[in-house]
Amino acid sequence: MGKKPVILLNIDSLMAQPLEMAIQTGRAPALKFLMENGIYYPNVVSSFPTMSVTIDSSLLTGTYANRHRIPGLNWFDIAEKEMINYGTGFRETFRIGQKKSIHNMLYRLNNEHLSDKVTTIYEELAKKGIASASINSFVYRGNTPKRLKMPKLFKAFTYFKDGQWISETPPIFSLGALSKIKPRHFTLQIVAGNYKYAAKELRHLIRQKRLPAFTFCIFQDLDFRIHFKGPMDLSGISKMDKQIQKMLNLYSSWEEALERNVWLVMGDNGHAPMHTKYKEAVIDLRKTFKKYRIAKLGRPPRKKDQLVFSVNQRMAYIYLLDYMDRMTTVVDRLKKDDRIDVIAWKEGNWIRVEAKGATESLLFQPSDERGDEFGQTWKVRGNLRLLDLEVDKDGLLTYGDYPDALARIYGALHSHEGRFLVVNAKPGHEFKAQSTPFHLAGAAHGSLHKQESHVPLLIAGTEEVPVHPRLVDLKEYILRIV
């Protein structure tokens, strides 16, 4: 008997505590069934920054950003002197250019920015002649040429003739109105159809007995709800659960669904609740650096500009364009704000980490000197408390408030070229620069903190487990069970 098809459901922004509460209060019977009949990890480590495109790139390639080269939802390309935005808030996207952002998201993300030195799960499976499917994911690179087509009313928002282009995708591919699995299936979304649409596409594969060896399907709507309703939105989880119930109901019993398939259900990032007052919640980088010349959105930096800001909600990249300006001067300004807990940058072969009130830095680099709990090895010097690191009785580095912090910070700082810092906000706060969206009294993500970095994972239909509880380890795990 061959191995069972693997279905990976990514419920965007699903978190362990509200998931457990939804199950305990009877709001999520399908997720309860999978949890009780499978293996549950409440604290799987996400990628960094904890933003969708970086996370999905890490999941699908099995690497952090230093290798897959997708630094975040928002970053600055120093070589091209342009801001790369894959779709943040409307105002910021409008300022950068809607056409440019759409082109980045739908074409350049997969065809130019995602490194060709790494392979996705889809590409690995295709090499072995094994089929796969992607439903509702912006990161989709595979080996099958697919013609994507914008609806007529929106073709002017692309750089392609007649709003059509060719991308390499998995053999089975669904992305809103651009590409459908079920014929004559209608969605109001141009791209990334809502969770009901995505669920219908997946159910169509099950009904038609067309499930490939691996299917990745994203339910995105919960993230939007949590940004405005806060992290404990149990009704959102209930809505997602009803769609999973409909999938399980396609079999003679839910037990048969587990006999026929492997079911993986995961969150991709958590959320940190935000303060209710603007002055407390929002770290406005323009005010922090009001004496500096800051590059404006929507146009290349001028020769006299000194700084560029790329904000990913609760983390930000700060680029130094003026090489006469000392890194320490910029760091000293950031250290005056007690809402910032991690400031990190490259210093030769080292990564240096500082924070307000700390008299000693932390320095680290990859080395075989000391191992950590995830099987990685490092050379570490200085103040371990800056990243809440400890050394256990066996001499291994263990992580506290910042899971897998060394590898994830190293990944972000080596994800693209340029002279820049990574800054991380304490829970309750987020960064702003020009037209950046913010989430007063709601919730936000992006940071290194465990509130956003720990996500749940349910495994049902197999007893095999990942080597380590990290999303970056799921590629190896999926290829092993497929």
Angle 407-314-115 from CA coordinates, rounded to 5°: 45
464 Cβ contact partners less than 8 Å away, ≥ 6 residues apart: 477, 480, 481
Spell out the domains of the chain, with CATH numbers in brackets: 6-70+114-274+448-481 (3.40.720.10), 278-441 (no CATH)
Within 356-404, residue ranges assigned H as helices are none
Digitized pLDDT (tens) for each residue of the chain, 482 residues in all: 468 999 999 999 999 999 999 999 999 999 999 999 999 999 999 999 999 999 999 999 999 999 999 999 999 999 999 999 887 655 556 566 667 788 888 899 999 999 999 999 999 999 999 999 999 999 999 999 999 988 776 777 777 777 788 999 999 999 988 888 987 765 555 565 588 999 999 999 999 999 999 999 999 877 777 877 777 788 899 999 999 999 999 999 999 999 999 999 999 999 988 888 988 999 999 999 999 999 987 788 999 999 999 999 999 999 999 876 789 999 999 999 999 999 999 999 999 999 998 989 999 999 999 999 999 999 999 999 999 999 999 999 999 999 999 999 999 999 999 999 999 999 999 999 876 677 777 889 999 999 999 999 999 999 999 999 999 999 999 999 99
- Condensed to tens digits (0 to 9), the pLDDT of residues 44-61 reads 999 999 999 999 999 999
Q: How far apart are CA 295 and CA 292, in angstroms?
A: 10
Burial class (CB in 10 A: 0-12, 13-18, 19+), 323: exposed
Retrieve residue 379's tokens. 């050379």
Q: How far apart are CA 264 and CA 73, in angstroms?
A: 25
- Condensed to tens digits (0 to 9), the pLDDT of residues 248-285 reads 999 999 999 999 999 999 999 999 888 889 889 999 99
Please, how many CA atoms are within 13 Å of residue 12, restricted to the half-sphere of its CB?
25
